[in-house]
Structure 1
Amino acid sequence: ALHALSTSRAEQQKLIVDRHNALRRGVKPTASNMMKMEWCPPAAVNAQNWANQCTLRHSPPNLRRTNVQCGENLFMSSAPFSWSDVLQAWYNEEKNFEYGTGAKPKGAMVGHYTQLIWYNSYKVGCGVSYCPIGPYKYFYVCQYCPAGNNPMQIAMPYRSGPRCADCPGHCDKGLCTNPCKYQDLLGNCRNLKTLFGCSHSMVKKQCPASCKCTTQII
């Protein structure tokens, strides 16, 4: 069972990416800036290494880095589930989520859903491990880069509007194909860029995405 689910298999990688993209295309309200996902080998290595630890807990942030910081979804089960079922379980938290409000009722679990459909988390890598000790035998881990679930923005995991409105000319069936390859190190880069400009050394250093990605989705 485990071998069939192994993310070293190209068909499992494709299934995981295609399923994510299908779920991301279908969000309601529609998204104007939803990035098309692709497989990320370094994130998959990190996810598999963590799955192999069988901790059934989140990995520390330092084990969740590629060239950027990544987010993480976990799933545990006593029997093997297909990757489609695992992703669907995360997506099903949508029933606890209202766009613009967030978790509804307050405190309900929505973080797996919001990370799965986070607009600029455009790279995914996953792994699964068999953990014989304890009630949960199967431990699934997906890492998402760059990380989603910014607490300031959790109620709006993407911008609502006509599909691909933010990426004209870079659209594949409702998903944007022009990712920014950089990540801002500060949360207020948009303001800093306006105030000081990108020739300012601090802004240039701390805000590479805002400074270098003028036409891409940040």
Structure 2
Amino acid sequence: MIDRVPPRTSSLPIKRPLPPYKKTKRHPSHKPTDLDKMNSSLLVLLCALIQFLGLDAVYVNIQRYRGYIQRTHNNLRALEGAADMKYMTTDYGLENLSQRWADRCVFEHQMRGYGENLAFISSTGPTPDPGYVIRESIRQWYNERPLYRFGTGSCGAACHYTQMIWARTSRVGCAMSYCAALSDGRGRVYRNAQYFVCFYSPQGNFIGQTPYTPGPACSRCPMGNTCTREGLCFGPDVMGRRRRRSVAATYKSTMTKSEAW
């Protein structure tokens, strides 16, 4: 039986953005548009209404960022020099699970068979655009890269990073909620938090295992897989569930916190 690595990331708030890891410069950016700014203004009004009505959580529609989330994960995975790194796709089933978890407004892990990266931004000032929350969360997860020691058999203080680049993980689904009050499960509450949740499958971060096999790109792909232009393994096992769901659109921004499992 394989033991899972317990969450070991710091619970200290990140007071200012971390410097970007040099290799991320080539990744596509998603600059705010006029529509982003308008949506951000609407979100501010919505947050005020939520507080007035006393609601706990409201759905934040981030479907337009699906491509960015998937593309950024794959670009980062392609940088690792792995022989068996799988291409990652969006899974709507994982999105649904992530949304249900974010809707609870509790900053803790479910630990039920999926990889999990969690983050939130809380503020008494203007509510950040959801795109900013997504970009900052992913960037800070990946910025744990220098903390990882390959071959130790543990993700240590870099569990967000290792889950993102775990070779056998091939599907991701993310969601966001606006939480008027986000609990950390240990008695602390963060006000006006935008809670970002990503679930991964198959899960990673197993004790005694390394995230991937070093070597030439695609040289150790599973049988029947092809090699993408990014140098990632692509096969039938990679495709996630793509069934769409309908959700009432509406959700919760600068203290940042993250957890990985």
* Same fold, judged at TM 0.5 (above): yes
Q: 1:132 aligns with which of 167, 180, 186?
A: 180
2:200 is the alignment partner of 1:152 = no
| Partner Cα distance (1:100, 1:56) in 2 | 30
Give matches, 1:26-175, under 5 Å: 26-27=79-80, 30-61=81-112, 69-79=113-123, 80=128, 81-101=132-152, 108-133=156-181, 134-135=189-190, 137-153=193-209, 156-167=210-221, 170-172=226-228, 173-175=230-232
| Partner Cα distance (1:90, 1:179) in 2 | 28
Instruction: Choose between structure 1 and 2 for higher RCO, CA contacts under 8 A separated by at least 6 residues.
Output: 2
The answer to whether the Cα contact below 8 Å between 2:133 and 2:194 also exists between their aligned partners in 1 is no
| Partner Cα distance (1:179, 1:166) in 2 | 16
| Partner Cα distance (1:152, 1:101) in 2 | 7
Q: 1:60 to 1:148 in 2, by over 3 A?
A: closer
TM-score by length of 2: 0.58
5+ long unaligned stretches in structure 1: 62-68, 182-218
Structure 1 stretches of 4+ with a deviation exceeding 6 A read none
Q: Aligned Cα RMSD in Å?
A: 2.4
Q: Tell me the SS of whatever aligns to 2:74.
A: helix
Q: 1:20 aligns with which of 68, 73, 87?
A: 73
Per the TM alignment, residue 6 of structure 1 is displaced from its structure 2 partner at its CA by 2.4
Q: Tell me the SS of whatever aligns to 1:142.
A: strand
The answer to whether the Cα contact below 8 Å between 1:6 and 1:12 also exists between their aligned partners in 2 is no
Which letter does structure 2 place at the counterpart of 1:160? P
Which letter does structure 2 place at the counterpart of 1:24? R
Which residue in the other structure is 2:53 paired with?
none
Structure with the larger helix share: 1
Per the TM alignment, residue 23 of structure 1 is displaced from its structure 2 partner at its CA by 0.7
The answer to whether the Cα contact below 8 Å between 1:91 and 1:112 also exists between their aligned partners in 2 is yes
Q: Tell me the SS of whatever aligns to 2:173.
A: strand
Per the TM alignment, residue 108 of structure 1 is displaced from its structure 2 partner at its CA by 4.8
Per the TM alignment, residue 86 of structure 1 is displaced from its structure 2 partner at its CA by 1.1
Per the TM alignment, residue 60 of structure 1 is displaced from its structure 2 partner at its CA by 4.2
Which residue in the other structure is 1:178 paired with?
235
| Partner Cα distance (2:89, 2:168) in 1 | 12
Which letter does structure 1 place at the counterpart of 2:170? Y
Post-superposition Cα deviations, 1:114-154, rounded to whole Å, max 9, x if no partner, equal 1010001100000111111232511111000011111121x
| Partner Cα distance (1:101, 1:58) in 2 | 24
Post-superposition Cα deviations, 1:40-91, rounded to whole Å, max 9, x if no partner, equal 0000000011001000111241xxxxxxx32111112215433222111111
TM-score by length of 1: 0.69
- Report sequence identity in percent: 35
5+ long unaligned stretches in structure 2: 1-39, 47-59, 182-188, 239-261
Pairs aligned (count): 165
